Amino acid sequence: MKRFIPLICIAAVLAGCGKVDQASKKDSMPVVKGGMLDTTNETEENTDEEKAEKTSEAKGQSDNFKPVDKVRGEEKQQPSTRSAYIAGQRTGSAPPQVYIPKPVKPPARQSKTNGNESGQEDPTQNTPSNESPEKAPPRAVFSAALGGIFKEGNIPGYGQIDISSDSGNCKFAVTDLEGDGNEEMIFVCGGTSAQSIAVIYGIDEEGKLFEKAGVSPDITLYSNGTLISRYSHAAGPSGDFMPYTLLKLSADGKKYEAVAAVDAIDKASVEAAAQEAAGVGAEPPYAYPEEYDTSNSGKVYLISSPDGSGDLRTVDVTEYESWLAQYTGGASVISPDYKQLTTDNISELTR
């Protein structure tokens, strides 16, 4: 019996040691690592705020540490105080140096423009406006040009002329010559002035005055854009026929372009000049081309290029009328309502 008592005691002692060991494991002290407390075992009882604070302490930062700014996608940098190293200074503490980080530029943000749901820039917003400034009414532009002519003798496109003695022979008309709804202005200054002229003006897309034709003052306008400008006098035996230049409006309606120059030889005028020459013992100045007068009309026509550089055609009246019909056939003659160049008539355009 005495032999079993020690064995029972030994077993009791071993059982007690096992309980002590389990208690020591449960209540064990935190392990110190590198001068800091390792609290990794206290996981479930610590809050997120405590974790952040302890993590901040582990990094050696202050209590004002803030986590990464996830909104900007960049890590916010906070001013920090460090001890700057000063060369040659080995004793004492160096003055603190404040490090100020460069500002972090936020990422570019795309804005929705004009309902563009994709967020991309609307290219139409960068297109300069095609709207032109407000234009003056055509009649106001015509009135201003006429005012300059009346006061200063300044004809746009031609410069100064003296109209003081012939102002009574100057007239103008504003009308739609082409039937396109846009008005043109015709200014005519005739009489005894050596600078007599007729000018047709239009208004361009920018609302500015421009010249369509500058011709002699004796003109005939046709509804199809044909213009006949007669010379101020005849140089040869044309009789009652007045030489002229025929012009045609260009396809874009910007200018009247010269097509041909036309003159005539009148048989009666040739014979009268021959008699006059014979009376003084001189040779006849002209000869009538009988071979071209196939219609026996007593008149033949000379058709040439406007500048006289092309071939000269001599034709009888039948061929001449057929040629002219290409330009005036079926068109009506325009009769503009001319008004004298006076201040009242000029002002009337804008009333």
Question: 306 Cβ partners below 8 Å, 6+ apart?
Answer: 245, 258, 259, 260, 261
| Structural domain includes residue 309 | yes
Query: Is there a single domain that holds both residue 205 and residue 344?
Result: yes
Q: How many domains does the chain have?
A: 2
Query: Is there a single domain that holds both residue 312 and residue 340?
Result: no
Helices marked H in the chain? 4-26, 48-58, 138-152, 267-279, 317-328, 343-348
Query: Is there a single domain that holds both residue 208 and residue 346?
Result: yes
- 198-216 confidence digits (pLDDT tens): 999 999 999 999 999 999 9
pLDDT value for 270 = 96
**Which whole-number Å values give the CA distances from 136 to 28, 30, 139, 151, 206, in the listed order?**
99, 94, 8, 21, 10
What is the identity of the amino acid at 233? H
Query: Is there a single domain that holds both residue 278 and residue 213?
Result: no
Cβ atoms < 10 Å from Cβ of 201: 24
Question: 326 Cβ partners below 8 Å, 6+ apart?
Answer: none
pLDDT value for 230 = 94
Query: Is there a single domain that holds both residue 270 and residue 317?
Result: yes
Query: Is there a single domain that holds both residue 276 and residue 338?
Result: no
Q: What angle do CA 109, 115, 116 make, to 5 degrees?
A: 55
SS3 per residue for 244-283 = EEEEEECCCCCCEEEEEEEEEEEHHHHHHHHHHHHHCCCC
Query: Is there a single domain that holds both residue 204 and residue 228?
Result: no
Query: Is there a single domain that holds both residue 311 and residue 342?
Result: no
pLDDT value for 35 = 45
| Structural domain includes residue 111 | no
Query: Is there a single domain that holds both residue 207 and residue 235?
Result: no
pLDDT value for 112 = 43
Q: Which helix (H) or strand (E) is 222 found in, with range?
A: strand 218-222
Ranges of residues in the chain whose predicted pLDDT is under 70: 1-133, 164-167, 191-194
Query: Is there a single domain that holds both residue 188 and residue 325?
Result: no
| Structural domain includes residue 287 | yes
8-state DSSP, 326 = H
Query: Is there a single domain that holds both residue 208 and residue 343?
Result: yes
Question: 264 Cβ partners below 8 Å, 6+ apart?
Answer: 238, 239, 241, 243, 299, 300, 301, 302
pLDDT value for 165 = 58
**Length of the chain measured in residues:** 351
pLDDT value for 166 = 57
Helix (H, G, I), strand (E, B) or coil at 50: helix
pLDDT value for 50 = 53
| Structural domain includes residue 319 | yes
Domain of residue 270 covers 224-331
| Structural domain includes residue 209 | yes
| Structural domain includes residue 194 | yes
pLDDT value for 293 = 97
| Structural domain includes residue 98 | no
- 297-311 confidence digits (pLDDT tens): 999 999 999 887 778
Query: Is there a single domain that holds both residue 282 and residue 235?
Result: yes
| Structural domain includes residue 269 | yes
Helix (H, G, I), strand (E, B) or coil at 151: helix
